[in-house]
A = this chain, B = another copy of it.
């Protein structure tokens, strides 16, 4: 008897188990019933977003099993997103609020900016310049061919009798390139240092500038009916100045800034902040002149990625190394080794950004998947139109791979240019807003964007593995 009491006293916490059971039964219905708190609503809105964020991140990680089948992680994230986003077709609308949660949408945009910043950091500016001419050719062909075939072939053929501005908008949508997905595939396979990756990245950046010009022209045509060359000139000069200015400044100042940066004695937090703020500011400036924020973030990453910025001494790692060495025999050799290790105790800037990437990048790809509405695949007519446009969309970009020149796998470059993603969607949306793109054509274009987003990752994976 007394032993039972003494065991109870020792394990008094066990008495709480029944309360816990009641608690779980109490809590669960609340969770699924509403997003708001009951009594105090401190951070109600935010707390619901925490739930969505956790769900998105866990879903993204669950999807990483696709890597076992040799597929890039990004494909898993897109697919799990498509599933989450279309469970509503089976009557389960629990996840629907994620699609319209403004904070999640913001975190996704921040995520893709962080991704392109990381990719910029991992790319070398000198290596990018080496493929500059090829990237320019790929970009031009990759814009001209899909634009021309959209405007003069697919448009009049699949949608006869419409205004020419409609065909031009269709062409413009097909000319867009969204670099996020391709860049992620290259990164997932650790192929960012290949010539193909550099050509695609460079071409995508140039493509954003060309797309900007096309959009300015076609918007002016659709609204005013005519185009003022001066306006286009200003846009082009600004975009050109931004990109070359960023690269130029990077090369002029990187060494000096790197030295200052290395000397900053304020711990890892300060370095992290300076680096990430630089990426955020360039993303903002890019958006200010009409470029995509991701182009600015990529340029920022390129600028910082001089040799001078790649490493810095991290006292924490040095301390950890010292800790490791403690207790081992203190021979002369070990002492010397310790000194050498300490001298080299360094850390990559990329390592600092990495956890932010883990946190935010999957949000972009899962929500991109969620925005895919499978219902638009149920309409046979739209589907046929969409397949027709997709054929042209894929072939048009594959042709651009031919412009990549010798010594590279042109299939990889071409396929890397295929994803239209959010850029294509923006073009189509503006066209719909201006009344030149019909609902039917818009639905078809959404399917085209879905297909050009989901098809390239597995095919690129195949090409990249074959290259090994």
| A interface residue numbers (CB < 8 A to B) | 13, 16-17, 19-20, 22-24, 26-27, 30-31, 37-51, 53-54, 57-58, 60-61, 64, 102-103, 105-106, 109-110, 113, 211-212, 215-216, 219, 234-235, 237-238, 240-242, 244-245, 247-249, 251, 266, 268-270, 272-274, 276-277, 280-281, 283-293, 316-317, 320-321, 324-325, 328-329, 331, 333-334, 337, 340-341, 344, 351-356, 358-359, 362, 422-423, 426
Contacts and interface: CB of A to CB of B under 8 A. Distances in A.
A238 B26 contact: yes
B50 A110 contact: yes
A290 B36 CA distance: 9
A355 B41 CA distance: 29
A110 B46 contact: yes
Please indicate which of the listed interface residues A30, A47, A244, A328 has the most CB atoms of chain B within 10 Å of its own CB: A47
A47 B277 contact: no
A284 B337 contact: no
Nearest to A344: B324
Contact of A42 (B38, B51, B293, B333): B293
A238 B26 CA distance: 8
B51 A20 contact: no
A13 B274 CA distance: 26
22 contacts: A16-B244, A19-B241, A20-B248, A23-B237, A23-B242, A23-B245, A37-B289, A40-B290, A40-B426, A42-B422, A42-B423, A48-B284, A57-B277, A57-B280, A58-B273, A58-B277, A60-B273, A102-B102, A103-B106, A268-B358, A273-B358, A317-B320
Given A281-B54, A328-B340, A359-B276, A288 B31 contact: yes
A212 B288 contact: no
Please indicate which of the listed interface residues A106, A248, A251 has the most CB atoms of chain B within 10 Å of its own CB: A106
B358 A249 contact: no
A94 B253 CA distance: 29
Contacts of A356: 355-356, 359
